Amino acid sequence: MSTRDADDRREYYRIEDTIALEFRPLKQGETADGSGVDSASQLFNLLSELHLMDFESQHLLRHIHERDRTLASYLKVINKRIDLLGQAVAHSLLRDIGPARQVTLSEGGIGFSSDQSIELGTHLAIKIVLMPQALGLLLRAVVIHSQPRDDGQFDIGTEFEALTDAQRQLLARHILQKQAQQRRQARERSSPTP
């Protein structure tokens, strides 16, 4: 099933979310690796790598826990310290990326508004910081639709390209956590208070 089916069926579950987002068009043959020389790009790459390494090492921590609980507990404390450093980096990056904005997010792509139209087929480097865990991801996407709105903005729809398995799973985990949070909030609103 494709995300562009005529009857508008979706391959991935989509959520409405508020995230920090920065995007730029890629030149022909350019990669989205963020290899710019500015310190913000270097910090963003560091944050992104921290989260990917954390995700990729989770199975190792489970194996260590089975063999040596004391060592596993110590490594969890170290991991929490690194997470705190990552959150500090993320908050400093939010100043450079800009204020959080409403997006539609799935494992397959991201939709957002822009003050200018972007040509279909344009490849983008997209930096996102997912909150509240301050998860930074640098992704490559292609524009699949760009439609004008009544307020002068444009609705831009993109499809991610060449996601690693770790990136896809981090997106999926964030989406599942957001879904669970939205369900809890809906239950709290609908349940009568004593």
Residue with tokens 């991935």, as numbered in its chain: 12
DSSP string covering 117-159: ---TT-EEEEEEEETTTTEEEEEEEEEEEEEE-TTS-EEEEEE
Quote the mean pLDDT of the chain.
81
Q: Does residue 99 register a pLDDT over 90? A: no
Q: And the tokens for 6?
A: 């005529």
Q: pLDDT tens digits, residue range 128-164? A: 888 777 778 889 999 999 999 999 999 999 999 988 8
**CA atoms of 109 and 138, how far apart (whole Å):** 13
State residue 2's pLDDT score: 41
pLDDT band at residue 81 using 50, 70 and 90 as cut-offs: confident
How wide is the angle at C-alpha 81 spanned by C-alphas 126 and 99, nearest 5°?
A: 35
pLDDT higher than 70, residue 20:
yes
> Could you give phi then psi for residue 71, rounded to 5 degrees?
-60, -40
pTM of the predicted model as reported, rounded to 2 decimal places: 0.72
Q: Where are the domains of the chain?
A: 15-190
Q: What is the pLDDT of residue 181?
A: 86
Radius of gyration of the chain (CA): 19
**45, 54, 49, 47: which is closest to 79 by C-alpha?**
54
